[in-house]
Amino acid sequence: MTKNYLEQVPVPEFNSKAKNLPKPLIEKCPGIIQKFENTYGAKPDFVARSPGRVNLIGEHIDYCDFSVLPLAIDVDMLCAVKVLDDKNPSITLTNADPNFAQRKFDLPLDGSYVTIDPSISDWSNYFKCGLHVAHSFLKRFAPERFTNAPLAGLQVFCEGDVPTGSGLSSSAAFICAVALAVVEANMGPNYHMSKQDLMRITVVAEHYVGVNNGGMDQAASVCGEEDHALYVEFKPQLKATPFKFPQLKNYEVSFVIVNTLVVSNKFETAPTNYNLRVVEVTTAANVLAATYGVVLPSEKEGSCINKGNLRDFMDIYYARYHNVSTPWNGDIETGIERLTKMLELVEESLASKKQGFSVDDVALALNCSREEFTREYLTASPVRFQVLKLYQRAKHVYSESLRVLKALKLMTTAKFTTDEDFFKQFGALMNESQASCDKLYECSCPEIDKICSIALSNGSYGSRLTGAGWGGCTVHLVPGGPNGNIEKVKKALINQFYKVKYPKITEAELEDAIIVSKPALGSC
Ligand code: NG1
Ligand code: MG
């Protein structure tokens, strides 16, 4: 089966030979080079940059291997780097933000990895995540150079304008910029890393600080393209395909990003929020598998507990009951049919326990002991819960994945008689996504709900949280261009939300709280 819904635009590679620097670097380099000089007394060798992202639709499904629709935005993280020639190499990190104090650590002389302590929350840990995945890439790529010898020592100056804890992926922007910088610093200017490699190595980087995230943020940050959104697939392989928004008659398709200014610190809340959801959806996949006699891929050989995800369940269920030998390859119509079937199975087998599953309920369903379940599912990263809401979480994941396909279809193949036609249909999907995040996944919060309702009453067609939720940013589909509603939506939010909730907010803070960004270029 071939994919017919996207013109297959390959992601352009880093264009290192181009005479002109990419636009974001032209704008931002002079400032950071000056700050580097003020700090270290010499010029940096190069600047690496990677942007934040906003997710248009497809929340909390990337770690189940379902595709998502994000785009890179023009807030980003920069690292200015000088490579040192030192027999006892170390890395010194300075951050333009005074809340992040200077850090310095040695690089092991025997070429072993720098240790990361996930039990402490320190900004240098995120640097070390990027360092670790880059180091592991270098060891595989050039074993003769990096197996027993240390990495090059570095002086680094970091500066970014992606708000942290806001759901715009400041962490991914930072880690991707760092990984690119470390590879560049150690391989030299003649080597050009591919975007595919950078994306592949960074998707798992945050696992080293204890967040079991999926790969959406890194894919978007690395592969972003000006004026394009991205369709990011995780299976059968990791891939980001850029596509353009439909051309409308009177309006531009614009997405307005509105920050609740409620900071959601994933590191602190993961045990009851992010990581718990990962446990819930993994458990749901296994309970479904046990119910329908399907064997999921196992992490450990010989383990009685399988650990595949909801995507694995869908693929293997189809192989078993519908005699299709190939897993879903991303084709829209096939995906819509299969996801609809999955939603039926969720109703059939999980709806009787809407109040949630206790550990004993799950152990019974999986035919294992309480202890086995606890050991295999609940100890990798700490989680805290009363019950596991398998029905609600699985229903969210399958219905949200279905909405992504419907959204992609609208974006790429639908014809609209009026502009409003498009805004209404795409907006409805975004609103359904928000309702599902709120009611089924329980990752919204009162500030998100308030902002969405104000925006919708003032000219937004679709309003939802973006990123992990529980605070952070929201995204709104607003007709743009000279006749559009952007100013009206902004004004309403300032008067009805920000000035009410944060009476002392300054003009500068307001300026940063609402972002209207065109899709931006990824890492460079
Ligand atoms: P944010 O909150 O923007 O970091 C997180 C995950 C994503 C994805 C979304 C929810 C990280 C680094 N990223 O995004 O992979 O799961 O939540 O869709 O944790
Ligand atoms: Mg993050």
Residues with CB under 5 A from ligand 2 (ion): 171
Question: Is residue 15 classed as helix, strand or coil in its secondary structure?
Answer: coil
165 Ramachandran zone, left/alpha/beta (phi>0; psi -120 to 50): left
Q: How confident is the model at residue 84 (pLDDT cuts 50, 70, 90)?
A: very high
**How far is it, in rounded angstroms, from Cα 137 to Cα 143?**
10
The CA 366 to ligand 1 mean position distance, Å, reads 29
Angle between the 332-350 and 274-291 helix axes, to the nearest 10 degrees? 80
- Position 302 scores a pLDDT of 57
pLDDT at 5 over 70: no
pLDDT of residue 6: 52
Ligand 1 atom closest to the Cα of residue 169 is 3
Please tell me the predicted confidence (pLDDT) of residue 207: 86
Contact 52, 170 (CB under 8 A): yes
Residue nearest to atom 5 of ligand 1 (CA): 468
pLDDT digit string, tens, across residues 236-250: 889 999 999 989 999
Ligand nearest to the CA of 66: 1
Q: What average pLDDT does this structure show over 36-59?
A: 97
Cα-to-centroid distance, 172 and ligand 1 (Å): 9
Q: What angle do CA 120, 220, 163 make, to 5 degrees?
A: 50
Assign 3-class secondary structure to 91-131. EEEEECCCCCCCEEEECCCCCCCCCCCCCCCCHHHHHHHHH
* Cα of 133 from ligand 1 centre, angstroms: 18
pLDDT one-digit tens code per residue, 443-477:
999 999 999 999 999 999 999 999 999 999 999 99
- Residue 1: pLDDT band with limits 50, 70, 90: very low
Average pLDDT, the chain: 92
- Test site for ligand 1: of 125, 162, 168, 169, most ligand atoms within 8 A of the Cβ: 169
pLDDT, mean of residues 107-116: 96
Q: Specify the pLDDT at position 3.
A: 40
| Range of weakest confidence among 44-48, 152-156, 246-250 | 246-250
Q: Using CB atoms within 10 Å of the CB of residue 105, give its burial: 0 to 12 exposed, 13 to 18 middle, 19+ buried.
A: middle
**Residue bearing the CA closest to ligand 1, atom 17:** 468
Give the Å distance between the CA of 204 and the centre of ligand 2.
12
Distance of CA 169 to the CA centre of its chain: 6
pLDDT of residue 326: 78
* Nearest alpha carbon, ligand 1 atom 16: 60
Please name the amino acid found at residue 482: P
Closest protein CA for atom 15 of ligand 1: 214
pLDDT tens digits for 126-152? 999 999 999 999 999 999 999 999 999
Q: 62, 65, 161, 217: which one is catalytic?
A: 217
Ligand showing the shortest atom-to-Cα distance for residue 472:
1
* Nearest ligand 1 atom to alpha carbon 469: 2
Residue nearest to atom 8 of ligand 1 (CA): 60
Residue nearest to atom 14 of ligand 1 (CA): 467
Compute the average pLDDT of residues 343-347.
98
Tokens 């760092």, located at residue: 178
Q: For residue 13, which phi and psi values (nearest 5 degrees)?
A: -80, 170
Q: How far is CA 120 from CA 156, 175, 267, in A?
A: 22, 17, 9
Q: Kindly give the distance from the C-alpha atom of residue 174 to the centroid of ligand 2, in angstroms, as a whole number.
A: 9
Q: Tens digits of per-residue pLDDT, 409-443? A: 999 888 899 999 999 999 999 999 999 999 999 99
In terms of pTM, does the model score above 0.90?
yes
H-state helical runs in 240-325: 266-269, 274-291, 310-321
Atom of ligand 1 nearest to the CA of 68: 18
Q: Measured between alpha carbons, how far is 448 from 433 in angstroms, rounded to an integer? A: 13
- Residue 134's pLDDT is what? 97
What pLDDT score does 359 carry? 97
Ligand nearest to the CA of 205: 1
Q: What is the arithmetic mean of pLDDT over 146-172?
A: 93
Task: With a cut of 60, say whether residue 9 has pLDDT above it.
Answer: no
Q: How far is the CA of 274 from the centre of ligand 1 (A)?
A: 8
Extract the tokens encoding 318: 């189809």
**485, 459 contact by CB (below 8 A):** yes
Neighbours of 415 (CB within 10 A): 7
Residues 252, 445 contacting (CB under 8 angstroms): no
Residue 360 a catalytic site member: no
Label residue 4 by pLDDT band (50, 70, 90). very low
User: What are the CA-CA distances from residue 238 to residues 80, 120, 330 (Å)?
Assistant: 29, 31, 12
Asked whether residue 15 carries a pLDDT value surpassing 90, the answer given is no
| Distance from the alpha carbon of residue 70 to the mean position of ligand 1, in angstroms | 11
Instruction: Tell me the two tokens of residue 147.
Output: 């197996």
Q: Which ligand is nearest to the CA of 211?
A: 1
Q: Provide the pLDDT for residue 18.
A: 62
The pLDDT value recorded for residue 474 is 98
**pLDDT tens digit sequence for 369-412:** 999 999 999 988 889 999 999 999 999 999 999 999 999 999 98
Instruction: Check if the interface score ipTM surpasses 0.85.
Output: yes
Distance CA 463, CA 451 (A): 8
β-partners of residue 247 are none
For residue 428, the model assigns a pLDDT of 98
**DSSP per position, 309-359:** -HHHHHHHHHHHHS---SPP-S-HHHHHHHHHHHHHHHHHHHGGGTT-B-H
pLDDT at 165: 77
Can you point out the beta strands (E) in 404-458?
A: none
Distance CA 157, CA 78 (A): 8
Q: Has residue 88 got a pLDDT over 70?
A: yes
pLDDT of residue 119: 85
Closest approach atom of ligand 1 to CA 216 = 15
pLDDT bucket at 211, cuts 50 / 70 / 90: confident
Using DSSP, state whether 82 is helix, strand or coil. Answer: strand
Q: Which residues line ligand 1 (CB under 6 A)?
A: 55, 59-60, 62-63, 167, 169, 171-172, 206, 211, 213-214, 216-217, 266, 467-468
Helix, strand, coil percentages (3-state) for the chain, rounded to 5, are 45, 15, 40
Q: Is the pLDDT of residue 90 over 60?
A: yes
